[in-house]
Amino acid sequence: MIDLRSDTITRPTPEMRQAMADAEVGDDVFGEDPTVRRLEEEVAALLGKEAALYVPSGHMANQIAVYVSVDSGEEVWAHELGHVVANEQGGLSVLCRALPRTYSAPEGYPPQELLEHWAAGIDDVHRARPGLVSLENTFIGRVVPIAAQRRVADFAHTNGMRLHLDGARLWNAAVALGVAPAQVASGTDTVSVCFSKGLGAPVGSAVAGDAGTIRRARRARKLFGGGMRQAGIIAAGALHALHHHIDRLADDHARAERLADGISRVSGLSAVARTNMVLVTTPEGRAARYAEAFTGHGVGCFPMGPQTIRLVTHLEITDADIDEAVAGIGKAASLL
């Protein structure tokens, strides 16, 4: 099976396992794990923030960031397909006591006119107070331009709101843009990043921001049950990933392009590559059937909508796998 379901399925490399085995550890709830502390310092520096906090998952990183950014009953503005809205079990309402206000936009960020429309009457006593804008970069593989992000940040700050960035795949955005990760995180009040996606670590994410925000985030992590003890074992995997697996994301992006090219030559299908994701368009309403057939021919994937299938390249995928996947997809499509 060539598993292109997600970049989360990777297993630690032998070198990463060795780094984990060798990790110096302590009780991180007491602040005594040197490896976790080193990871948090390196992540903060990479993202251009004062501090960072290691957490078990991207989901928890996002929820903690929102929790410490809004007061009860405030609005969080986010894309309707954003992970924080669509894939975190309503955590914005359940955990953060916030009111999601969602928009739809193919480019993944809100148009200026919409922001201005929503901000009109911001002081109306009938309205929930707007507290936070949440962006995602990359958004379903798509790089959100830094200038667009900067416009949203300026708008949020001018209107007394904060900006969170779900940067689960911020590393991919930075590599695709050829800029430092800190540039992608610039202008944000909080940013979450993941080590267990394209970077290939087994566990963990971080939330970064100013020192006061991260102090509150540390308390929130304990409230959410995310305090970990000898977490240096897994933090060492994340550190190894930061040191060795960022630049190689360019290979994943190139393989995604090669995969999209190959699939576009298959009759009835078209495909586009966005960083490490390939979105395949099938005939109307047939994505589930096609995804099942691709899987049956050895190419693991998920349907993302009635006409779209998502394929994701990652650390364990080689050029030969891409060629084999294109052949499997071609065979599967010819039988439908």
Ligand X SMILES: Cc1ncc(COP(=O)(O)O)c(C=O)c1O
Which residues here bind ligand X, judged by CB under 6 A?
Answer: 8, 57-59, 62, 83, 136, 166, 168, 194, 196, 205
| Smallest distance, ligand X to C-beta of residue 125, A | 35
- CB closer to ligand X out of 10 and 62: 62
Longest dimension (CA), the chain: 61
Shortest CB 197 distance to ligand X, Å: 6
Of the pair 136, 328, the CB lying nearest ligand X is at: 136
Residue 310's contacts (CB-CB under 8 Å, 6 or more residues apart) are 140, 277, 278, 279, 280, 301, 302, 303, 304
Report the residue number, 57 or 264, with the smaller CB distance to ligand X. Answer: 57
Rounded least distance, CB 87 to ligand X, Å = 7
Other residues' Cβ atoms within 10 Å of the Cβ of residue 299: 26
Q: What is the closest distance, in whole angstroms, from the C-beta atom of residue 140 to ligand X in the complex?
A: 8
Closest CB to ligand X among residues 207, 326: 207
Contacts of 48 (CB under 8 A, 6+ apart): 180, 181, 182, 183, 185, 186
CB of 124 to ligand X, least distance (A): 32
Say how far apart CA 327 and CA 174 lie, in whole Å: 31
Angstrom distance (rounded) from CA 321 to CA 324: 5
Query: Rg (Cα) of the chain, in Å, rounded?
Result: 20
Contacts of 138 (CB under 8 A, 6+ apart): 144, 169, 170, 172, 173, 176, 274, 275, 277
Is the preceding peptide bond at 138 cis, omega within 30 degrees of 0? yes
Check: CB of residue 232 under 8 Å from CB of residue 204: no
Q: How far is the CB of 63 from ligand X (least distance, A)?
A: 9
Instruction: Name the residue number minimizing CB distance to ligand X.
Output: 58
Using the minimum distance from each CB to ligand X, give the nearer residue, 5 or 286. 5
Return the number of the residue (194 or 256) whose C-beta is nearest ligand X. 194
